[in-house]
């Protein structure tokens, strides 16, 4: 028997997750599918996305994958419509897709700025715009925007990523006001230093892991499943009167 919660209000609920083929996104796909939700997820990593969808579908879970670059707004809107045609209009949207590519502020060009905003911020707004009519018609819904503690702790070499992630919470609060009277909740979910294969490969070594452990209030590391369990709560009716907030899952590191 699992030690973690089951949410009856998530059973059969259409869910859309961006960047769902790996890392935190993959964990979220697995967790929502495990709750009996009907999950549609997008990613540019076709092999990983197709493998994940095939695995969960073969286990009897309602999961669909669509290749999509979320910076292509028209393509993303089409993917969202495709999921709705099969699963019904989304009642949960998780804006997870992002990319924390390191960069030197002195070398940033206008085109690079636009590219980083597109992959880390712009798609979140247009996905909300796409799913909102269905949620309004249903009189309920939950939108979860993934932020980052990076701007709170002033992580070096990612100023554009941090700018976009700081803006995510402004977007969350403004859209919570816009959509709240229609029964739609909008919240920010803010991971800390999450141990994923990509982070371990690119950024995290023994020294940095020790540094993270020293900064966190809690012993141990944050893993994708820790973030996913907060997403489940924010999506479920258990959080029915929670909106316009940001929830840090960071082991007690940042001061949000």
Query: Does residue 53 fall inside a structural domain?
Result: yes
Q: Residue 202: its pLDDT value, please? A: 76
User: Is 65 among the domain residues?
Assistant: yes
Q: Is residue 256 part of a domain?
A: no
Verify whether residue 76 is a known catalytic residue. Answer: no
Residue 3 belongs to some domain of the structure: no
Measure the CA–CA gap between 154 and 168, rounded to whole angstroms.
16
Could you report how far apart the first and last alpha carbons of the chain are, in Å? 34
Which residues neighbour 204 within 8 Å (Cβ) at sequence distance 6 or greater? 193, 195, 212
pTM: 0.97
Q: For every one of its 256 residues, what pLDDT tens digit does the chain have, with 9 covering 90 and above?
A: 589 999 999 999 999 999 999 999 999 999 999 999 999 999 999 999 999 999 999 999 999 999 999 999 999 999 999 999 999 999 999 999 999 999 999 999 999 999 999 999 999 999 999 999 999 999 999 999 999 999 999 999 999 999 999 999 999 999 999 999 999 999 999 999 999 988 878 778 889 999 999 999 999 999 999 999 999 999 999 999 999 999 999 999 998 7
Position 179 scores a pLDDT of: 99
Whole-number pLDDT of residue 1:
56
Cα–Cα distance, 47 to 11 (Å, whole number): 27
Q: Is residue 255 part of a domain?
A: no
Decide if 254 is inside a domain: no
7, 112, 161, 223: the active-site residue: 161
Closest CA to 91 of 55, 170, 144, 18: 144
Q: Which domain holds residue 90?
A: 8-249
- Give the pLDDT score at 46: 98
In this structure, what CATH number is given to the domain that contains residue 243?
A: 3.40.50.720
Q: What is the count of structural domains for the chain?
A: 1
Is 1 inside any structural domain?
no
Q: Is 70 left (phi over 0), alpha (psi -120 to 50) or beta?
A: alpha
| Residue 149 belongs to a domain | yes
CA-CA distance, 239 to 176, in Å (whole number)? 14
């Amino acid at each position: 028997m699992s030690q973690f919660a089951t949410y009856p209000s998530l059973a059969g609920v259409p869910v859309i997750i961006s960047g769902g083929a790996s890392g935190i996104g993959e964990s979220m796909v697995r967790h929502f599918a495990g709750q009996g939700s009907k999950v549609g997820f997008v990613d540019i990593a076709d092999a990983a996305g197709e493998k994940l969808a095939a695995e969960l579908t073969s286990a009897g879970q309602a999961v669909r994958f669509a290749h999509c670059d979320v910076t292509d707004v028209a393509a993303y809107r089409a993917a969202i419509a495709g999921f709705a045609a099969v699963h019904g209009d989304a009642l949960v949207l998780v804006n997870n897709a992002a990319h924390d590519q390191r960069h030197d502020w002195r070398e940033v060009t206008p085109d690079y700025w636009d590219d980083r905003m597109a992959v880390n911020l712009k798609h979140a707004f247009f996905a909300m715009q796409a799913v909102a009519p269905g949620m309004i018609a249903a009189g309920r819904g939950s939108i979860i925007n993934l932020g980052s503690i990076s701007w709170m702790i002033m992580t070096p070499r990612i100023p554009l990523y941090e700018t976009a992630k700081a803006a995510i919470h402004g977007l969350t609060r403004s859209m919570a006001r816009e959509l709240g009277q229609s029964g739609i909740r909008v919240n920010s979910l803010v991971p800390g230093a999450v141990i994923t294969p990509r982070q371990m490969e690119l950024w995290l070594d023994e020294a940095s892991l020790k540094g993270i452990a020293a900064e966190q209030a809690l012993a141990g590391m944050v893993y994708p499943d820790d973030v996913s369990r907060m997403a489940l709560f924010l999506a479920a009716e258990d959080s029915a009167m929670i909106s316009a907030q940001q929830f840090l899952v960071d082991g007690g590191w940042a001061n949000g």
